[in-house]
Structure 1
Amino acid sequence: MKIEIISWECKGLRCPDMEINLMSGENPAHVALIQMPNGTGKTTILSLIRAALTRELSNWDAEKIKSYRRHGDNNPQGSFTLNLQIDNEFLTFKLMFNFEEGIVDSLPSYSIEDLESKINYYLSQNQHLHEKLEQKEKDLIYANEKVKTDVAELMDKIRKPQLLHLKFRESLIELKDKFDKAELPEKASRQFFIDLCNEKDCICGRELNDEIREIIKQRANLYLSNETAGFLNSLKSDIKRDLLSDDNGTEKSFKNSVDNLQDIKDYQQLIDDEIEYLKQEMINNGNNEVKEWKEELDKKTKEKNRIESELEEIEREPSHRDDQKYYEKTNCLKALKQWLEDEEIKLAEISNTIEMRQKKEILQKILKLAKTKANNNLRESIRNKCNQKLEKILYRDPISISDINHSITLKGQKAASMGQTLSVGYIFLTTLLSEGQHQFPLLVDSPANSIDITVRREIGQIIPSLCKQFIAFTISSEREGFTYTLANNADNIKFLTVFRKTETTKQLEQALPSKGVIDNKNCVIIEGKEYFNNFDLLHY
């Protein structure tokens, strides 16, 4: 897959209104250098590109959205459009800012988080209904907590069978009476006979010898142990305390708990319905766009719940619900894997291919090991290629990479200078991009600001060979040693200069070239290498 940036356009935002076209003939320029003095909007444009291509918008609050309005302007709206070319197909992303409401729409589609944020913001604007909605949501929180408490209380009572039905209570009382009549466990304690063996005479008065003592010890096992006797005594005490002290309040207590839980569940459902009604009423009072948001949100939420349910079923642990006879009705991956393994063992036994199955398992282990080894070799290959380039570029101040894992580890040092760090970053990114099957643009702000001229020349020479599209926002002080080398090594290069229209830049406006100039309301865009190389705001 090949992704290239074709152009972008800003309107009504804090950066100047501009349309930047990166095409060079029928294809995007291999290298595009966009010279913009500080304060022209480089950081803003980079954040807009990132927001258009990621889910970052869902984390933007109203205050941040409104911060993109140009200072001193009262324009209610603004927009940013990003045009891409993906494998010769065109794709457009558009961010539409509503500064009055503090929301931003994203095309081609909204995420669930975007829709919820937009709807919630709209609902908050109707003060009267919003206050009612807030109160109902507080009531729902109370109802949810009460349901949890009542369920815990009911589960505690379910663990006491005498509370479930009068028959359980009567049966337990009858059990205690039978224990009492049989004088259990007092007369059936094993410890009594064990203690008797230590006496000189039996309770009947006859003298005990070793033979009689051994018989008593053997028969003592027919009687209750201390643990069992203790359990029976505890059971009788519990029955006396919990069942004989109240004639009929127990079953009634359980029934009351069930009724209370049902009441709070009904209340919970009522509040939930009222909240949905208030939201729908507020949406119905709005425009068609809000209704479309709600319909799209409901549709996407339903689809999300369906997918999450299927994933949960796939990832769950096996249970008694899984029946191998009806394997086609089971989506539990672990159960299916276990059944497959069991059947493979049976098949191997039947067909006398146990040895073949063992060989297959060995082969699978080899393949898994090979994958791990390939990843390690790839990491090592990238590390070596990066170090070879770093040795050439930073020959006066050598630095090398010792490991590449979740981050880059430098050999013999924990940190590096700004110039070294930037050089390592360039080399790693360009090497990584050149190794993969997918091609992405590399977009950089101030690409050579912290690098000395010699290193600039080296990096400027290597970037075009390792990157299919390189876009850089530069300032005039970065030109020396960098742009000339880039131009000599790129297939084609596009030079653009952008500056704001202010009192300070009026002299610049009077010295514009005759060709390649786009004069907007609040900025000027000039295409051309000569103007790019001669431009310096401080000279005017």
Structure 2
Amino acid sequence: MRVKITGWRAKNLRGYLRDIDIDLSAHPKRWTLFQMPNGTGKTTTMRLFRDALTGTHLSTEEINSLKADDSVENGFFELSLTIDDEPWRVEMNFDFRFGRCEYTTTSVGARSGGNRTGRLPTTLRDSLQKGITELFVFDGELAAEIIEHGADRADNSIRALYKLDSFGDLYRDIDAQAKKRRSNAASISAATTKKAIDRFTKDLEEAEIMLAHLQREERKLLNRKSEAETQLSELDKKIGELSSQQEQYSDELAEVKAQIIQDKVAISELTTRSTELFRSPPLFHASVRDRLNSLGGTMQKLKLPRTMSEEFFLQLAEEDECICGHKIGPEEKNAIIANAKEFLGHDQIAVINQMKLALRDSGQRGETLGSTLEQLRAARDGLQLAEQRRLRIEDELEEAGFTEIGEFKQQKTKITFLLEGILESLDKLTSNHLQISDIAWKTNIPACRNEVKDRSRKRDTAAGTYEFIQKTEALKTLVRNVELGAITRLRKRIKLSTNHHLENILANEPLRVASIDGSLRLTTDKVELKSSVSEGQKLAVSYAFLTALLAEAPHKFPFVVDSPAVSLDVQIRRTIGQLIPPLFDQMIIFVISSEREGFADTFFDRSEDDVEFVTISVDPVVGRPKLLNGKEEFMSFHSKREGSL
């Protein structure tokens, strides 16, 4: 789907929208820059773009906030666009007396043409849903949300744009089919069966309510854990900054911090590798591998399993003659059938052949669990020594009179104590214990899940739907795996593309995306997790992320942005102004005069066939907008004029 904005009109709305008609033509130029003073309606225009595209229901307060003044009773906003080259218009008609807004859409398509009351058709609104529209009609608050620790905005953006949200609809459809099957079974007239279903259903609901309660407790504990870890990180940062100010310790402290990061990365990688090796018997220990190799060699030497199988002799017993030419009578037939059981069946032969194949490959790798665990111990020992060195430096500084370090350490001790309690509570809540008492399912999530599963099985069995439910659960698992694989690959691809853009945008600062896990996790060459960045950095990272996201998206949208460079320095403005616009087929950019330097001026030398400059001001006396087209007027509109309007 390709979407382009071709213009908009407004009447009796606040700011320059009191009486405006913007026509970008049926084939708008690639880049259109609107220069307007602050407070004249740029943000309102952006909001109306999103409302028109998504068909958002507006409250009475939101509607009344749009009117030009108390004297107007009605108003409207009309957005013109093309969708796959087919013209569309969405009109929002406001009744300020009763606080109402009605939508009207008009198109000229062969099948969709005509004027109708209501929003865009559902098929189009699904592709222009709020989560997607907020990406290309860019809200400045989105920059912070994309980077905010603990937010899901980056992931939600990927899911919305690449339609991964449809997996949720598929889950619901599967559940609906299961519910329908249960409902049909529950309508059986046999009274005892219906009573059993009702009883088991009530028991299941009790367990499901308890599971939901425990999961809420888990989320609360995880939030408290995240807050405590953030506080500890901030205290470590403060202690590190104070310590680094002392020349005699600065080099050693930098070395220690680098060692800590290196050891943590090594521990993470080796822990994952150890888990993989633990699951592979040949790599568990050298003696196990030797015994398995010996077994494989014996099977190869004896050529086990034999090529003859039980099925061969059973088929032979039905023949009139043996393969050697002798006649097979009743006595011979009985003897062949009796002795056939001494041989393997086809399914057993297949299993043994799989064993031979696995045993043959078992000695190909020299890595064992023991060697990997030894590396893991060494990494943990190294981390412990590095932490001890860091603590020694802090102790020496505290003894030398840096009392703030002591205060920070006391705060760390208190927070660490609280964190240990949180972790202990989380462990009790989430650990999958081997032995669980009868009442543990009310205090432990895995046990409660098992209880839900057990009660669900009883209910489904009573309803005669257990086999069907098992199949629906298997299908949901398959869909979940597909969804996980898709989001994982998209995260990786978008992360690489984002970092490629950041190399050009933030060339002097090595700020990169370490991972996309809900939000964007940032890193530098010296800091493993960069949790604090400036507003300008947030905006630069967001532009890089959105560029990576939208440039390869399945749909092509215009990119509409308000004040894109106001918080950026001139060098980064110029880089963004040169790098990002060529990636989009259409950009509509609202700027103020202070953004000309470094950003808007990068468009001055571009072809007039590709760029349109529009300057809009509002007469402070009559409140009417004034439109001036052309680069000369755009360049001569100074910030001092903004202050007078």
State TM-score, norm by structure 1: 0.49
Which has more radius of gyration?
Answer: 1
Larger relative contact order (CA 8 Å, sep ≥ 6): 2
